[in-house]
Structure 1
Amino acid sequence: MRKAHLILVGLLLSFVAKATNDIPRSEYPRPQFERSTWVNLNGTWTYELDSDNTGNKRNLPTSKSLSGTITVPFCPESKLSGVNHTDFIKRIWYQRSLTIPTDWENKKILLHFGAVDYVAEIYLDGRMVGFHYGGSTPFSIDLTQITKPGQTYNLVVAASDNPRSGLQACGKQSLEKSSFACFYTRVTGIWQTVWMEAVSTYGLESAITSPNIDNKQLTITPQFYQISDGQTLEVTLYDGQRKVAQQISQCANGSDLTLPIKKMKLWSPETPHLYGITYRIKDAKGQVIDEVKSYVGMRKVHTANGQFYLNNEPYFQRLVMNQGYYPDGIWTAPTDEALKNDILLGKAAGFNGARLHQKIFEERFHYWADKLGFITWVESPNGGMDPNNEVASRNFLSEWAEILERDRNHPSIITWSPFTLFSRITPTFIRLIFDTQKITKAIDPSRPFNDLTSFHCVTDIWSIMNYESDVTRFALKLKPDKNKAEYTNQPLFIGEFGGLVWETSESAKGTWGHGGMFTNEDDIYECLEKLVDAIQTSGNITGFCYTQLTDIEQEKNGIYNYNREPKLNVERVKSIFEKIPSRPTKKK
């Protein structure tokens, strides 16, 4: 009888595992703030395109089934969505039923969206319950007062997108009907995980982690949904399974808790050590009412004396440009493993990090970068917006603040880089740059700020763009313009170089790339080595970003092709880039 019971349990567990695996992108989407009580809402939804913007007149907010089916969280332009509609989408509607679990009684019920491009409106049983501006950042809707556990509701989402307006940041999404040059297939609507969780009314809303390696301590700054009398926060730090520090305090918003760390282990790309964190909130009777799992990497980044420092030692950044596009998912990785694989591909080619170009990556990417040891620059998808427009500036600042708040606890992120390059610099744009710098430093003063790639107003890093493939001309440009008032001996960084095109298919028609077109593979290695040698002998470069990790659609200057298969001899490429060590060789 017991054997039959075990078989039945095994079959049930197998069924549950299969059901979970059938949900696309089923992993927990917020790896630095993880609770156990949650529901993944990815999968099959109904949808309808609304090109003439008549959805509200046709009462779509109340619709219980739309005209087609789509797989969330993949955008309708992608193959994985099942829609594959690549023309402009001005407005799209989504629908599914939403059942609140019966055991979520007396809990705060939160509906989370990882990202919806660009303006999102959320309806529940025809009633608008929330909205959000910004195509790359998460937002939440509190359903507590309008839902009851055990009941089912009709969830409808409308997303509006107008990349040609100049008022929204859209990155490398093409403003033409088709992709061209370094602009690619567009993204509209839901493109990150939709999920729901139950939280105590007095639960932890957020926690800022501030490592201080000089004083060997970690500071935690908590924020709560509500606070009741006698409520306490218990923070425990773990090294593996071993408890290394603990602090207990009365709950208070913005009140710091400091944990001393003995025999502290530092985080770096070479040794990406992570400490586990458990947050427990207890009521006046000592009962645990909320528990959150997290982690932290103890590390420090700063600039001084024309150098970039990691953990108080000079560190050379060998970055690769990663734009985060996928053939089948566009902005959305097909699997969590694909995010991890992109980091492994970068490391295999000799890079210790990546510049995340013109896109805000899924938070799971940063988790893998933290875990595997891979430094990153975070850059907004500022392409497409008109920075000289006041409304566009207002939209940008709101979204940039949300980006900082989402990602500031990830140790792998070492630089904030909000803008790339714009052809028209006006007083309005310069004001936006200064405002962005102030907001960035207010939210996170611990990291360097890089304003633009090749134009500087207020910056901690002097980055330049140099796509010369002729080594003589390339070497002549490896210096800052010391005549500019903005130059105050900031570290010199090559924000973009390389872009060498090697087309391995039978036809190079439509091929585009930043650098020259090569027809002989050995010539690429020779050119690449000369460029790296010039960087090394210049004596004043503190890092570089090579363009780029993979081909994307018609852009063919990747080390790997769009399907992540090697185009070049990766070991040979690795040996060239690693001629410059991450840390300078210490003299004996």
Structure 2
Amino acid sequence: MLKPLATATRDLASLDGLWLFALDTKLGPEPWRAPLDTHLEAAVPASYNDLFADREIHDHVGLVWYQRTVRVPRGWADQRIVLRFDAATHAAAVYVDDVVVAEHDGGYTPFEADLTDVVAAGTEFRLTVAVDNRLTNVTIPPGKLAIGADGKEHQSYFHDFYNYAGLARSVWLYSTPRTHLTDVTVTTDVDGGTGLVAYCLTASEPAPASVRLLDEAGITVASCDGHSGTLRVDDAVLWRPGAAYLYRLEIEIHDGWHTVDKYELPVGIRTVAVEGDQFLINGEPFYFTGFGKHEDSAVRGKGHDNAYLVHDFRLLDWTGANSFRTSHYPYAEEVLEYADRHGIVVIDETAAVGLNLAVEAGLTGQPPRPTFSPDTINDRTQAAHAQHLRELIDRDKNHPSVVMWCVANEPSSNEEGAREYFEPLIDLTRELDPTRPVTMTTVIFATCETDRTADLVDVISLNRYYGWYVATGDLETAEKLLEADLRGWMTKYGKPIMMSEYGADTIPGLHSVTSTPWTEEFQADFLAMNHRVFDRIPSFVGEHVWNFADFGTGPAIHRVDGNKKGVFTRDRKPKAAAFALRERWKELRGRKPGTQTVQEPVLTAPIA
């Protein structure tokens, strides 16, 4: 699905702003047929949960309704008119006046409705959206619904971040010509000093096409006619971590001698591969330094915010990070575009978190249920998971910053049924994109002896918390356990290994001379212990700390005002560990391949 752009042949109008808002429990039947009977307004983009000083809204389970009036620009006559939602968490139905025009399941990928035959240029229409936050055993991510003693539905879920919901990303109205480009796929390679840019176009109907590739100075370096081909770029400047270089692919669809549609796509020429126990970018070993993150901030919840986008990337730069994982769902496309422009490497993850009912048992004290069974994670869940992968790869396939797909986070890969569930999904991922490696983060219950899926992936990504959840506070024991664990994976599989999560909850301002858990000193010592082990493992290719910043969670006795494993607070103030990481990652640049940056971080003082 092409990201909507304003070009010489396309127009784009933002529908962000304040929309009427109401819970379904406050409205009558078929609320889309009239103006919503509500005095509430909600910001778009934003999660709705924390916008209001209202416990009922914050904890609501079920449908909520958004509504606004939209005027179609009068100059869009004879154009195709499209309504696009960058995301709606987790499912949505969209109405234009009294007509349902779109339905979508999946809270983090875009969907569209063609309104060409529904609305007219220069007129207004009533746009109403029902958004459903409910999660079940057949949704991605999964959850469980139950009727409480109050007679209301209650939601539980198996992931450790708050179930923020609503229209958390932008909404657009855009136009295209009737004959238009519908998709473009770009893959790149390098032949000596020559860059190879293979492209494949699809259009709404048969029509001639041409492309040309421009460098950053606007000079055409290659061109081609046809819907597919390979552009050769002599002396190509490669897209590199820390040194982004983007060419611009200009695409034209023709009707006779006339250009009927134009579209532009940034292109970074680079290669990604796994060879033996190394991860290679442009044929050179790369070592990941960075974080698992979340789209999370006060008031906005998971609402995309460009100010936080810029600030968070500057903090990544300040720490010396060169990468991050989109835990545990696809982030807003603006995030990947920014990473493309600034040379930050991304592991792109689908929303398959919580496919592990052993975690549910541990958190609730209930008897464990089998994760994979007809009554739990089943064929319908797998089908939903496959659709999430299709939509993720369809959206993000052309981003040079994306170097690896992560199929799931911490599934029960040691349980019976795991291989049958995941092998078709990993095969599908490779079929959809054979150019990028595939990984899946491994929960601590799955060891190198019990895991049933590690041979299927290219990179072994481990989430390990020795010294926190295991051997709590005993870093000497934790160090031995961690090293034995990593060496077991290295010996058995001979693949690249990275730590996709490691961290310790930390209360900012809590200190102790004895490095006690929850203190800032312990967090720094915990990370240092992990780093000593990492440096002793020859096949180790990266370290992603959990987490970049503290984030909101659901109610639980082991959480106080959210998860505190961030090296920054939720409002982005540094803990002591942030300075320790900055020192390590600066030092790593001189001895680890792939950790060099073009220039020293711009920020040289503590960030508040």
Q: What TM-score range do you get, normalising by the shorter chain?
A: 0.7 to 0.9
In structure 1, the residue matched to 2:14 is: 40
In structure 2, the residue matched to 1:274 is: 246
Deviation at 1:516, TM superposition (A): 7.1
Q: Deviations over 1:111-149 (max 9, x none)?
A: 101111222111112111221111111011001112211
In structure 2, the residue matched to 1:7 is: none
Deviation at 1:447, TM superposition (A): 0.6
Deviation at 1:425, TM superposition (A): 5.3
Matches within 5 A, 1:163-562: 163=135, 165-170=136-141, 183-214=160-191, 216-228=195-207, 231-249=208-226, 255-285=227-257, 287-333=258-304, 335-384=305-354, 388-423=377-412, 428-454=417-443, 455-457=451-453, 458-469=456-467, 470=475, 471-481=479-489, 487=493, 489-497=494-502, 499-505=503-509, 517-519=517-519, 521-553=520-552, 554-562=562-570
Q: Deviations over 1:218-261 (max 9, x none)?
A: 01111112224xx3333333333222122223xxxxx4221110
Deviation at 1:429, TM superposition (A): 3.9
What SS does the corresponding residue of 2:76 show, helix, strand or coil?
A: coil
Deviation at 1:33, TM superposition (A): 9.4
Residue type of the alignment partner of 1:431: E
**What percentage of aligned pairs have identical amino acids?**
21
RMSD: 3.2
Task: Confirm or deny: 8 A CA contact 1:33 1:294 kept in the other structure.
Answer: no
Distance 1:173 1:233, change over 3 A: farther
Deviation at 1:36, TM superposition (A): 5.1
Measured in 2, the distance between the counterparts of 1:173 and 1:533 equals 41
Deviation at 1:344, TM superposition (A): 2.0
Deviation at 1:377, TM superposition (A): 0.9
Task: Confirm or deny: 8 A CA contact 2:291 2:325 kept in the other structure.
Answer: yes
Deviation at 1:186, TM superposition (A): 1.9
Distance 1:402 1:71, change over 3 A: same
Measured in 2, the distance between the counterparts of 1:369 and 1:173 equals 35
What SS does the corresponding residue of 2:487 show, helix, strand or coil?
A: coil
* TM-score (norm: length of structure 1): 0.83
Alignment partner of 1:583 out of 563, 576, 593 = 593
Unaligned runs of 5+ in 2: 147-152, 356-370, 444-450, 468-474, 553-561, 597-608
Measured in 2, the distance between the counterparts of 1:327 and 1:174 equals 26
Measured in 2, the distance between the counterparts of 1:34 and 1:361 equals 28
Q: Deviations over 1:459-478 (max 9, x none)?
A: 11122232223233332222
Deviation at 1:524, TM superposition (A): 4.1
Measured in 1, the distance between the counterparts of 2:132 and 2:102 equals 14
Distance 1:537 1:414, change over 3 A: same
Deviation at 1:80, TM superposition (A): 8.4
Measured in 2, the distance between the counterparts of 1:174 and 1:341 equals 37
Deviation at 1:96, TM superposition (A): 1.4
Matches within 5 A, 1:81-100: 85-100=57-72
Deviation at 1:380, TM superposition (A): 1.8
Measured in 2, the distance between the counterparts of 1:393 and 1:413 equals 24
What SS does the corresponding residue of 1:464 show, helix, strand or coil?
A: strand
User: How many residues of Structure 1 are paired with residues of Structure 2 in the alignment?
Assistant: 535
What SS does the corresponding residue of 1:213 show, helix, strand or coil?
A: strand
Q: Deviations over 1:260-312 (max 9, x none)?
A: 10110111122111112222222202x22211122011111110111111110
Task: Confirm or deny: 8 A CA contact 1:74 1:81 kept in the other structure.
Answer: no
In structure 2, the residue matched to 1:563 is: 571
Alignment partner of 2:51 out of 74, 79, 82 = 79
Deviation at 1:182, TM superposition (A): 7.0
Measured in 2, the distance between the counterparts of 1:92 and 1:154 equals 17
Q: Which has the larger displacement, 294-303 or 524-533? A: 524-533
Distance 1:403 1:473, change over 3 A: same
Task: Confirm or deny: 8 A CA contact 1:61 1:156 kept in the other structure.
Answer: yes
Measured in 2, the distance between the counterparts of 1:107 and 1:30 equals 14
Deviation at 1:48, TM superposition (A): 1.7
Measured in 2, the distance between the counterparts of 1:74 and 1:135 equals 13
* TM-score (norm: length of structure 2): 0.81
In structure 1, the residue matched to 2:365 is: none
Q: Which has the larger displacement, 209-218 or 379-388? A: 379-388
Q: Which has the larger displacement, 576-585 or 538-547? A: 576-585
Q: Which has the larger displacement, 299-308 or 378-387? A: 378-387
Distance 1:31 1:460, change over 3 A: farther
Deviation at 1:208, TM superposition (A): 0.7
What SS does the corresponding residue of 1:495 show, helix, strand or coil?
A: strand
Deviation at 1:584, TM superposition (A): 6.9
Unaligned runs of 5+ in 1: 1-27, 250-254, 509-514
What SS does the corresponding residue of 2:47 show, helix, strand or coil?
A: coil
Task: Confirm or deny: 8 A CA contact 2:61 2:154 kept in the other structure.
Answer: no
In structure 2, the residue matched to 1:122 is: 94
Distance 1:376 1:85, change over 3 A: same
